[in-house]
Structure 1
Amino acid sequence: MCLFSTNLFAQRAIIAPATLGPNALPIPEIKTGKLAKDFNLKIAYENHTSKGDDTQNAFIELSIPVVSNKVALVLSVVPAEYYTLDSETLEIRNITNGTASGNAGGDIYVGTHIQILKDKNSLPDILLSIDLKTASGTNTESARYTDAPGYIFDLSLGKDITTNTSVLESIRPFAMAGFYVYQTNRTDFRQNDAILYGAGVDLNFKKFSFTTSYGGYKGYIDDGDKPKVLRSTLRTRFNSIINYEIRLGRGFGSNFYDAVRLGLNINLNFINTLF
């Protein structure tokens, strides 16, 4: 009966960012063209708010260098989220078998990031990223996740510009383009092939960095599949195992959510010395 209920929801629900929870089809991180060099664990709390959906969740991301400065494996997941919906949102999303409040577990993302080009005088750094979204998310009957896989392919470019000031060490403009492909469970459009885009700038100071980026993706079905986001992130750059970050996000287009992230970045490079 549970499987039958979930299948009915999949058939009548609109699988698009405008009609799902904030973690179902999120806008990927706008990458800077540079591979993360550290063995790093990110643990964060996130709060997403919209007119009819209030969601809090944990977020975990593990970045594992496979080939130093060349290839990294990136795993991420929302292990638990808690949500509250109003009656209007329940009706818009056609949620009849789900609940107005509850919890869910998110999809696992598995990514391979490859540094194609780096540290060339006249050329930007180039990073290729291939990410797989699994179908591990739960509570699809409440429109929290899609219960279907997805794929993200993107190429990002960036270049450090060294400054001659004692306060600001460098400025890094960057841009990204690619594709975001996800299944829709529709009979007329089996999947949505969205164009992924983004750009921003990274300001690196001695003890912290400040990053602002704008991006999103644009699907071809036009069913609420054009989310956009403006993100600003402040990170510390202490010479220590633990660093901190705060990120603010403002949604546009099909993204109705504003978001806050409070996170810890834990350097795990010391594990390499144990082997």
Structure 2
Amino acid sequence: MKFNSLVYLFFLTLLPLIPNAQTTEDSWEWWNNQHGWEPGDPGWRNWMKLTPGYLGPNALPVPQVKKGFIEDFSEVEISFSNHFHSGDPTQDISGRLFIPFANNKIAVEIYGVAIERFAFSETIRDERIARDKDGKGFAVGDFYFSTLVQLSKNRKFPNTLFRFATKTASGNQLEAARYTDSPGYFLDVSFSKQWSTSNNGLLRPFGSVGFYSWQTNDELNLQNDALMYALGTDFEKNTWLVSASWSGYSGYKNKRDRPMQLNFDIQKNIDRKTLRIQYINSLREWGYKSLRFSFIWKFNPA
């Protein structure tokens, strides 16, 4: 009798969980109906498209353009960004740490998005096959670790810099199509040459070429490989720097994996601090217009 009572109490305890389990199962019914998913089909992760044109603005961005040389100071940078998109307005706070050493022959750089706020439309949600029904929330971004090696500087040959960077899978909210939840890497070589102008300014054309690769959910082709490129020019005078560049990369799958953009950058140096404003305008497939405000602290190199 005592045993039967314990069994009864056990099932009585489990009873409230049964409706919850059913509710959890039913909560994805809208997604199943929207995309025609049926039992036995591949899981929802396999339906998503891990390319920059089907994800949030920080998932697979075009890497920041390097200019052929390692900066003279260690830097700590905090940035506030607003990404304008009619169906996916996004804001974020990001950080960067840059440390040169070995007489500025080598440097390490760590950066990433600390927090991202998003609010996308139903149209964007369904296009990206996202499973976040209301399309609103917060996400933590991927972090990048890169090593830079100065190959040539202040010689007849152009300044030449090699960079190798890895992308972690720290970003969350894959179900909201914000990040890939997969690793990647890129490498490039950048070049620049500078000339003095008649008004005591400095003109610096620069460019780079490289390779970008990231893991996908395609079982037949587990990674996407892309040619990475950039061209631009700096104009520097006194404590001001104005820069414009064109950059992007081209994946081989041709499924919105070929983002291209224009970058505009204005910096004002105040002692060992820098105020920076950047504007990024998408030309192809990425789809965002971004405005970024940064504050940079500079320190003596290690």
TM-score class, shorter-chain normalisation, is over 0.9
Asked if residue 180 in structure 1 is aligned to residue 176 in structure 2, the reply is no
Alignment CA distance shift 1:70-1:52 (3 Å): same
**1:248-273 residue CA offsets vs partner (Å, 9 max, x unmatched):** 1100111100000001011132x86x
8 Å Cα contact 1:23/1:144 also seen in 2: yes
TM alignment of 1:1-275, pairs within 5 A: 8-97=43-132, 99-120=134-155, 122-166=156-200, 169-238=201-270, 240-269=271-300
In the TM superposition, what is the alpha-carbon distance from 1:221 to its structure 2 partner?
0.4
Count of aligned pairs: 264
8 Å Cα contact 1:199/1:214 also seen in 2: yes
In the TM superposition, what is the alpha-carbon distance from 1:92 to its structure 2 partner?
0.3
8 Å Cα contact 1:131/1:152 also seen in 2: yes
8 Å Cα contact 2:263/2:279 also seen in 1: yes
Q: Distance in 1 between matches of 2:128 and 2:253?
A: 17
Give the structure with the larger helix fraction.
2
After TM superposition, the score normalised by the length of structure 1 is: 0.92
Q: Distance in 2 between matches of 1:97 and 1:249?
A: 27
Greater Cα radius of gyration, structure 1 or 2: 2
Q: Distance in 1 between matches of 2:113 and 2:283?
A: 22
Q: Distance in 1 between matches of 2:76 and 2:131?
A: 38
**Helix, strand or coil: the match of 1:53?**
coil
Give the structure with the larger strand fraction.
1
Q: Which amino acid aligns with 2:274?
A: N
Could you tell me which runs of 5 or more consecutive residues in structure 1 were left unpaired when the two chains were aligned: none
Q: Which amino acid aligns with 2:292?
A: R
Matching residue of 2:18 = none
Runs (4+) off by over 4 Å: none
In the TM superposition, what is the alpha-carbon distance from 1:242 to its structure 2 partner?
1.9
What is the RMSD of the two structures over their aligned residues, measured on CA atoms? Answer: 1.8
In the TM superposition, what is the alpha-carbon distance from 1:97 to its structure 2 partner?
4.5
Could you tell me which runs of 5 or more consecutive residues in structure 2 were left unpaired when the two chains were aligned: 1-20, 29-41
**1:115-169 residue CA offsets vs partner (Å, 9 max, x unmatched):** 000110x210000000000010011110110010010100000011112324xx2
Q: Distance in 2 between matches of 1:9 and 1:143?
A: 12
After TM superposition, the score normalised by the length of structure 2 is: 0.84
Q: Distance in 2 between matches of 1:251 and 1:14?
A: 19
**Helix, strand or coil: the match of 2:43?**
helix
In the TM superposition, what is the alpha-carbon distance from 1:241 to its structure 2 partner?
2.9
In the TM superposition, what is the alpha-carbon distance from 1:188 to its structure 2 partner?
2.1
Q: Distance in 1 between matches of 2:211 and 2:204?
A: 23
Q: Distance in 1 between matches of 2:44 and 2:140?
A: 18
Q: Distance in 2 between matches of 1:36 and 1:26?
A: 23
Q: Which amino acid aligns with 1:132?
A: T
In the TM superposition, what is the alpha-carbon distance from 1:215 to its structure 2 partner?
0.7
